[in-house]
Chains A and B, each alone.
Chain A
Amino acid sequence: MKVEYLIPLPVVLPLLAAGVKFIIGPRGNRLQGLISVVVTIVTLLTEIALLFAADDRDGPLVLTLGGFSPGVGITMVADRLSAMMLVITSTVVLCILIYSIGQGAVDQGASGPLTVYHPTFLILVAGVSDAFLAGDLFNMFVGFEILLVASYVLITMGGTGPRIRSGATYVIVGMLSSLSFLVSVAMIYAATGTVNMAQLAVRIALLPPDVALVLHVMLITAFAVKAAVFPLSMWLPDSYPTAPAPVTAAFAGLLTKVGVYAIIRAQTLLFPGDRLGLLLMVGAFLTMIVGILGAIVQADLRRMLSFTLVSHIGYMIFGVALGTVDGMSGAIFYAFHHITVQATLFLVTGLIERRGGSTNLGRLGGLARVSPLIGVVYLVPALNLAGIPPMSGFLGKLGLLQAGAIMGTPAAYVLLGAAIATSLLTLYAVSRAWGAAFWRRPRGPVAEPGTVVSSPGPEEHAARSPELRTDTTGLGESSVTAARFPRLMLGSTIALVVMSLAFTPFAGPLIAYADRAATESLRQDAYIHAVFPGIGR
């Protein structure tokens, strides 16, 4: 059996599991959770196999579905880049799933409908995987659709007022981005007569350059909405923070990165050359600076993190905009790092919310004393995000800085300055939050041990937890409870923190892999040759 047959599995397995879950429906959450975890593990193993296979083989792994010839049927392609994205995605997803199972075990009865949650989550993952594996532009659109619609469901889950409000923003912007993607695909098909990406690579090169430029701009704009590149990013901080912690963590980790991945493919495979390099650099600059300025004025931890999320997308776009192997490798490694760290931080906000009763910095206080462990699991990824060495955020930043310095153009230097400033302001944002939530003395009395604060949104605490002794609705009041954490929640968060720390000792092989992935992604001819053995090379 050829290894290529593994390629569809990361999509089919979660979909199948989701179907099974719909069927077994009411038979309990435990089974649902178990299925999710098992399927994710199996998927992860498949992806690891793909990763090694793609790394062994010189050139991407290709499978055209249904036995049709490529161009007619749908082609799926797994190269180093997509395999790497898949593996990190599934790893983070596994932790998030375990976290939400832990959370669900405590929140039962109070929280959302888990039987919708689990299948939806799996379908989201299937969509993300499909987008990563698509060798066909329209199928990539389908992947986007899957993940978007699943995310619409997840973001509005629970149906509270704020969630519906922010969900509306998210859903409508999402639809607009889908529409613009679809229009771009249609235009590209109109001009080239194909949606197979390898064939597109050949045919776009034959188009008049100015037509190609127009198509290129359209496609990148559509992807940039998804990746949250300023000024197409404003929707994100308004919609992410209201969702429950695991959902926000998954969104923050995965969704914008799919956009970044799509931009990488567009820049390297479909429209190679640095036609839009400068435009992307401008976007990267604005994304970094405006994003991080947004972060430093936020009073809510989740909102603050949503802004850092946007801001750091700028780093990846910067790397892609450079268009060199160094830049691309830096962007890929940064994505790898950022998926992990940003997801971890959002999970931590869930822990903070449970212990402190809020994610609002004005209400929190004294957490370092009450729960040193939360202190550690917040501080380590927060400093990592700010690029404190020797953690992965620093290494990613270093790679990008090097790539920029090697490029050496004035624009690159401006971007280097912006990257430095962003790094400093990120540190400012996260350390100020640390000071407020962890060091400052809590203003309110400490609740009795054993009380549990648990609900998806801060505004509902008072209503949902009558046992809570402190008044969380009073202005300036803070509450600290001695709630015990479900082991799974804490355990999966710690696992992610440890994993992000492990990137440092294993930075050598990881970055070497990112280098190979970047080199491969820039070798358009190898991709074409892999899909159409007759052409290329």
Chain B
Amino acid sequence: MTALVAALFVVALAAPWVVRSIGRNAFVLLSVPLFAALCWLLATRRGLDLIHWVPSYNLNLAFRLDALSLLMAALVTGVGGLVVLYCSRYFEAGEEGLPRFAGYFLAFAASMLGLVLADDLVLLYVFWELTTVFSYLLIGQDGGRLEARRSALQALLVTTFGGLVMLLGLVMLSTVAETWRLSVIVTQPPRGPEVTAALVLILVGALSKSAILPFSVWLPSAMTAPTPVSAYLHAAAMVKAGVYLVARLSPAFHDVAAWRVTAMALGALTMVLAGWRALRETDLKLVLAYGTVSQLGFLTTLVATGTREAALAGVALLLAHALFKSTLFLVTGIIDHATGTRDLRRLTGLRRELPVPFWASVLAAASMAGLPPLLGFVAKEAAFTAYTHDGTTATVTLAALVAGSVLTFAYSARYLWGAFAPKPGAEPREVHRPGPLFLAAPVVLSLAGLVAGLVAGPLNAALTPYARTFPEGDRPVEGLALWHGVGVPLALTLLVIAAGTGLFLAREPVARLGARLALADGQEVYRDLLYRVDRAALQITGYTQRGSLPSYLGVILVTAIVLVTGALLLGSPWPPAIAHVWDAPAQLVPAGFVIVGAALALRARRRLTTVVLVGVTGYGTAMLFVLHGAPDLALTQFLVETLSLVIFILVLRRLPVHFTEKLSPVRRVTHSVIAVAVGVVVVVVGVLATGARSLPPVSVVFPKTVADLHEHNIISALIVEIRSWDTLGESAVLGIAAAGLTSLIFLRHRAPRHLPDPAAETSPRNVWAWSPEGDEEEPPPEWSQAKADRPERPWLRGSETLADERRSLIFEVVARLVFPPIILLSLYLLFSAGSSPGGGFAAAIVAGFGLVIRYLAGGRYELSEAAPVGPGLLIGLGLALSCLTGLAGLLFGGSVLTLGVWEGAVPLLGKVHLSSSLFFDLGVYLLVTGLVLDILRSLGAGIDGQVEREARPGERREETVV
């Protein structure tokens, strides 16, 4: 069976290709696999396939064939094959989207077959949802129409809603039963409150799939689908899935009142209300659609009852309904095809024009109305018989079913009358006669209804095994038969015929009455619900997604404050006394600076002031490091702080002096409160955390570890040895920050402000290939002149390009003179890191200052004089060197970042300590130098270039022209 289902899916995959190659006749070919499957199933009759799928979740690909499955599978393949055959003439040759349609249709058939054969609840659910998805795609076949899209979405949402609720129920059921196997659950049904809840949830899924109230709304809408889809999915196959599931589980759970009563009551109610509705529809397909809803209610009631008689009647009616309803749909399709309308007020005299469809419809409608000798009659007799015993429930149900049958009779008659009767006042329409291939399916299906009614005996034998899964009742089951003798059921049938005829004759007033009594339409409820969900979503989203960064930051900070404060208040983690407020009272001074600086920064209106005040907090922190006895950290912090100031100032050139955004006082206060609260919380947690420490920190072993390395500077050893892995990572961070900076500065004025620039195609895409001499422009004439005309060296060559008022001779001289010592200092810091404060990072920043001074004194051309290599090269070399040191360690030393150590005396430098970490540090050095150079090039020289270009109006015009 696994192979059978899989094979059908393969056919579905191939179907679009087949249809594309040979056109609509391909459907004839495509019906063959379905008929073959039918034959195989009828020959096999019984079986079990089991393949493990996900052992952790206990999922299996389990397929099982028994009486009920066989009935359903036969319907799926038999009716499916006939409808596919019908498609070959229903569609015009070369109709758009036909290949796609064929694929979806066959895939649906495969899924449906899988659904009815599945013996594993998850597998069943898989196919269940697949049928939903393919139904969605089939209803939306003509997705260009709004109506089709809406109906498709509605069917999808309603049935998936039910499906998901059902999934929850299935999960709960299987959790109690500890298995997913359907047959196991049915033979050893679990009990308990969870099971009852699970069953109600499962029922929601089943009812929504079978369009039982209150989920009926989607089925009539789905009639926008092509008629073969209506006939197959929405009459014979998919809508029966819910009934099938109820029928499957009822043998085990019919004694659970919540399950039985809910299903029976909703089923009966649906049967009556939908039947009543069918009496006033004027579109033939809608008459049939409401009729289907009504019959599905009937079926649900029968299979949920839990007696052998009702179950037998239920499955018989299931078969009967599939046969007569698909016939009627297919005939409707023929009528639609032949006349171009389905409006029963405009159709007239078709009895003579379309004799074969007429006689097929008569058989089908008679079966639907429950007239002998058709299968519909047999099933309905059996149904009435099942409720003729004593008991209030039975009587009430019987009354509802009889009332529903009266309505069924009436709308059956109405259908026949509407489709075929001659009507005064309606214009006869031109009719295209259908060919034999078009007629085959309805004829076969209607005849099958007749034959099955006549040979009720063998049918009874085939279906009884299912009925036997229910417990034996107090009286013998009569079985299906054409003639039960005179009794209550027969009397009820006569009553149905009489009352139904009456209703049909009074069709005009009935339709008017129906329209007047109509309650809220399901469509409106659905639309209203969807509208409410959309509106709520819009409101909530509008409320949460304000698009304002300050509010997002506020939310994050407030959440953090609330959560941490909550945790603080929840426990009582307060230490008895705060032992330790400061290490030295002198710490209060820098701390005070930091606090005051931060507070003032909040109030500053000028950008530059803010930057300086923020700098104060940094210098204060550096002072704290000094007081803690950490000169390395302090040195680095001072350097970084200063460099940041320089960078800020470079950027601030391009920004307004004052903050432009005015904050309302309320927001200013709110921000301050949040800021202070965050600070307080962090302090409190800090005090608490330090107070809670009972074990010595890992740092106590650092002196010894470092000594083992023959190093003398713990900080340096930490950075380049012990935690060099972190350093490597942070180096990458710096490198990438440089890359980002460059990409931003050099693209903002190149890219999309203007139309695409043909020149940009040829310009280098590597931003670091950009030279500081300017963007696409040649260096100014003074520059080349400076090179050519002045044999004697000026202090700074690049400064020749500066305007005279920007030049300062003193500055140039100083810059020229201090540059070499600065570089030397930086090298010293690099190599001496092992024993004294320094290290690659600080050293590189010092070198960076050399470049800063050259740039400030001599302008952007001087920068390229000072550093002839590109930052990309430096950064790349640095990163690669650090990584290679690490990898070399891996290759030779056994672990990343370990290599040998070499110590010795070198003239001038004294005792030198060389280890692999020096290479590592050198990498850091190169990288950080590259970073500073990159910053100067982009934020310094790059912005210079922008400023100059904007100052020269002629060039700007040229740019816009391009």
B587 within 8 A of A: no
- Asked whether any CB of chain B lies closer than 8 Å to the CB of A119, the reply is yes
Whether the pair A12, B723 counts as a contact (CB closer than 8 A) is: no
B contact residues around A209 at 8 Å (CB)? 571
B676 proximal to A (CB < 8 A): no
Assess whether B886 is in contact with A12, with CB atoms less than 8 Å apart: yes
Instruction: Assess the A72–B724 pair: CB atoms within 8 A.
Output: no
Report the separation of the CA atoms of residues A498 and B764 in the bound assembly, to the nearest whole angstrom.
37
B524 on the A face (CB < 8 A): no
In terms of DSSP, what is the predominant structure of the interface of chain A? helix
Assess the B157–A213 pair: CB atoms within 8 A: no
Say yes or no for B949: interface residue by CB 8 A criterion. Answer: no
B876–A23 CB distance below 8 A: yes
Query: Once the chains bind, are A297 and B722 in contact (CB under 8 Å)?
Result: no
Q: How many angstroms from the CA of A201 to the CA of B606 in the assembled complex?
A: 48
Of A337-345, A349-357, A389-397, the segment with at least 4 beta carbons within 8 Å of chain B is: A389-397
With a cutoff of 8 Å between Cβ atoms, the chain B residues found around residue A491 in the complex are none
Within 8 Å of chain A (Cβ to Cβ): is B399?
no
Is there contact, CB below 8 Å, between B887 and A159? no
In the complex, B751 has a CB within 8 A of chain A = yes
Structural contact, A172 and B553, CB atoms closer than 8 A = yes
With A and B bound together, what is the CA distance between A123 and B153 in angstroms? Answer: 43
| Interface residue from B541, B560, B567 paired with A213 (Cβ < 8 Å) | B567
CA A18 to CA B754, docked complex, whole Å: 32
Q: Is B298 positioned at the interface, with any CB of A under 8 Å from its CB? A: no
B785 near A: Cβ within 8 Å?
no
| A371 interface residue (CB < 8 Å to B) | no
Does residue A294 face the partner (Cβ distance < 8 Å to B)? yes
Are B883's CB and A511's CB within 8 A? no
Across the interface, which residues of A come within 8 angstroms of B160, CB to CB? Answer: 424, 427
B461 at the interface (CB under 8 A from A): no
Contact of A221 among B152, B174, B563, B752 (CB under 8 A): B563
B887, A16: Cβ atoms under 8 Å?
Answer: yes
- The B550-571 residues at the A interface (CB cut-off 8 A) are 551-553, 555-557, 559-560, 563-564, 566-568, 570-571
Q: A296-B537, A420-B165 are in contact. Are A145 and B55 (CB under 8 A)?
A: no
Contact of A156 among B122, B567, B744, B765 (CB under 8 A): B744
Q: Are A22 and B872 in contact (CB under 8 A)?
A: yes
Q: Which residue of B lies closest to A505 (CB)?
A: B53
Complex Cα distance, B15 from A49, in Å, reads: 42
Q: Is the CB of B698 within 8 A of A398?
A: no
A7 to chain B, nearest CB (A): 9
- List, in ascending order, chain B residues with CB within 8 A of A139's CB: 723, 725-726, 729
Q: Considering the chains assembled together, what is the distance between the CA atoms of A417 and B136 in angstroms?
A: 24
Q: Which of B367-375, B386-394, B733-741 contacts its partner?
A: B733-741
In the assembled complex, which residues on chain A have CB atoms less than 8 Å from the CB atom of B726? Answer: 74, 138-139, 142
Interchain CA distance A175-B280 in the complex, whole Å: 66
Q: Which residues 332-358 of B sit at the A interface, judged by CB distance below 8 A?
A: none
Mark each residue of chain B from 42 to 62: 1 if its CB lies under 8 Å from any CB of chain A, else 0. Answer: 000000000011111101000
Is B886 within 8 A of A293, CB to CB? no
> Which chain A residues lie closer than 8 Å to B149 at the CB level?
435, 439-440
Q: Is the CB of A217 within 8 A of B563?
A: yes
Look across to chain B and name the residue whose beta carbon is closest to the beta carbon of A230.
B544
* Contacting residues, chain B, for A476 (C-beta < 8 A): none
B164 at the A/B interface (Cβ < 8 Å)? yes
Within residues 882 to 907 of chain B, which ones have a CB less than 8 A from any CB in chain A? Answer: 882-884, 886-887, 889-890, 893-898
Cross-chain contact A113 with B765 (CB below 8 angstroms): yes
A232 and B743 CA atoms in complex are apart in Å by: 29
Given contacts A8-B886, A25-B872, A153-B743, contact A234 B555 (CB under 8 A): yes
A183 within 8 A of B: yes
Q: How large is the interface on B (under 10, 10 to 19, 20 to 34, 35 or more residues)?
A: 35 or more
Say which residue of B566, B567, B696 sits within 8 Å of A193 (CB atoms): B696
Whether B143 pairs with A440 at a CB distance below 8 angstroms is yes
Contact across chains for A416 and B168 when beta carbons are under 8 A apart: yes
Nearest B residue to A4, CB-CB: B895
**Bound-complex Cα distance A238 to B550 (A):** 13
Q: Which of A150, A203, A217 has the most CB of B within 10 A?
A: A217
State which of B54, B564, B732 has its C-beta within 8 Å of the C-beta of A508: B54
In the complex, the answer to whether B729 meets A72 with C-beta atoms within 8 Å is: no
Known contacts A192-B693, A435-B152; decide if A149 and B733 are in contact (CB<8 Å).
yes
Q: Mark A292-309, 1 if CB is under 8 A from B, else 0.
A: 011011000000000000
A112 an interface residue at 8 Å Cβ cutoff?
yes
Is B553's CB under 8 angstroms from A432's CB? no
Chain B residue at smallest Cβ distance from A184: B685
Q: With the chains together, A210 CA to B688 CA distance in Å?
A: 10
Pairwise interchain contact B740-A152, C-beta atoms closer than 8 A: yes
CB contacts (< 8 Å) of B174 on chain A: these are: 402
Verify if B756 is at the interface (C-beta below 8 Å from A): yes
A63 to B699, CA, bound (A): 20
Q: Are B755 and A120 in contact (CB under 8 A)?
A: no
Tell me, yes or no, whether B156 is within 8 Å of chain A by CB: yes
The verdict on A405 contacting B175 (CB below 8 Å), with A183-B682, A294-B537 known, is yes
A329 on the interface (CB 8 Å rule)?
A: yes
Q: Interface with A: B123-131, B265-273, B801-809, which one?
A: B123-131
Contact B761 A108 (CB under 8 A): yes
Expressed in whole angstroms, the Cα–Cα distance for A127 and B685 within the complex equals 29
Minimal beta-carbon separation of A287 from chain B (angstroms) = 11
**Given A12-B883, A420-B168, A431-B153, A116 and B742 touching (CB < 8 A)?**
yes
* CB within 8 Å for A143 and B721 given contacts A20-B880, A188-B689, A395-B54: no
The residue on A at minimum CB distance from B884 is A16
Whether B768 and A25, one on each chain, are in contact in the complex, defined by CB atoms closer than 8 angstroms, is yes
For window 76-113 of chain B, which residues contact chain A by CB distance below 8 Å? 96, 100
Give complex CA distance A369, B551 in Å: 44
Contacts of B735 in A (CB 8 A): 18-19, 22, 119, 123
Q: Are A466 and B553 in contact (CB under 8 A)?
A: no
Q: Tell me whether A214 and B682 are in contact in the complex, defined as CB-CB below 8 angstroms, given that A16-B880, A196-B698 are known contacts.
A: no
**Contact residues in B for A73 (Cβ distance below 8 Å):** 722-723
B873 to chain A: closest residue by CB: A23
Q: Are B743 and A238 in contact (CB under 8 A)?
A: no
Task: Map CB proximity to A onto B524-557 as digits: 1 under 8 Å, 0 otherwise.
Answer: 0000000001101110110011110101110111
How distant is B718 from chain A, measured CB to nearest CB, in Å?
A: 10
Most buried by A among B768, B880, B896, B897: B896
Task: Contact check, B544 vs A290: say whether CB atoms are below 8 A apart.
Answer: yes
Contact B564 A221, beta carbon cutoff 8 Å: yes
Per the 8 Å Cβ criterion, residues 489-518 of A in contact with B are: 507-508, 511-512, 514-515
When A116-B739, A211-B688 are in contact, do A432 and B545 touch as well, CB less than 8 Å?
A: no
Top 8 closest A-B pairs, CB basis? A210-B571, A439-B143, A22-B876, A193-B697, A153-B740, A19-B879, A19-B880, A23-B876
Q: A126-B732, A235-B552 are in contact. List 6 more A-B contacts (CB 8 A).
A: A22-B739, A22-B880, A114-B765, A116-B739, A119-B736, A425-B533
8 A-B residue pairs with CB within 8 Å: A12-B728, A73-B723, A116-B742, A173-B549, A195-B698, A199-B698, A232-B556, A460-B752
* Chain A interface (Cβ < 8 Å from any Cβ of B): 5, 8, 11-12, 15-16, 18-26, 29, 63-68, 71-74, 76, 108-110, 112-116, 119-120, 123, 126-127, 130, 138-139, 142-143, 145-146, 149-150, 152-153, 156-160, 164, 168-169, 172-173, 176-177, 180, 183, 186-196, 199, 203, 206-211, 213-218, 221, 225, 230-232, 234-235, 237-238, 279, 290, 293-294, 296-297, 329, 366, 368-369, 372, 383, 388-390, 394-395, 398-399, 401-402, 405-406, 408, 416-417, 420, 423-425, 427-428, 431-432, 435, 438-441, 455, 460, 463-464, 466, 507-508, 511-512, 514-515
Taking Cβ atoms with an 8 Å cutoff, the residues of B that contact A are 52-57, 59, 96, 100, 122, 125-126, 129-130, 133, 136, 140, 143-144, 146, 148-149, 152-153, 156-157, 160-161, 164-165, 167-168, 171-172, 174-175, 194, 533-534, 536-538, 540-541, 544-547, 549, 551-553, 555-557, 559-560, 563-564, 566-568, 570-573, 682, 685-686, 688-690, 692-699, 701-702, 705, 721-726, 728-730, 732-733, 735-737, 739-740, 742-744, 746-748, 751-752, 754-756, 760-761, 764-769, 870, 872-873, 875-884, 886-887, 889-890, 893-898
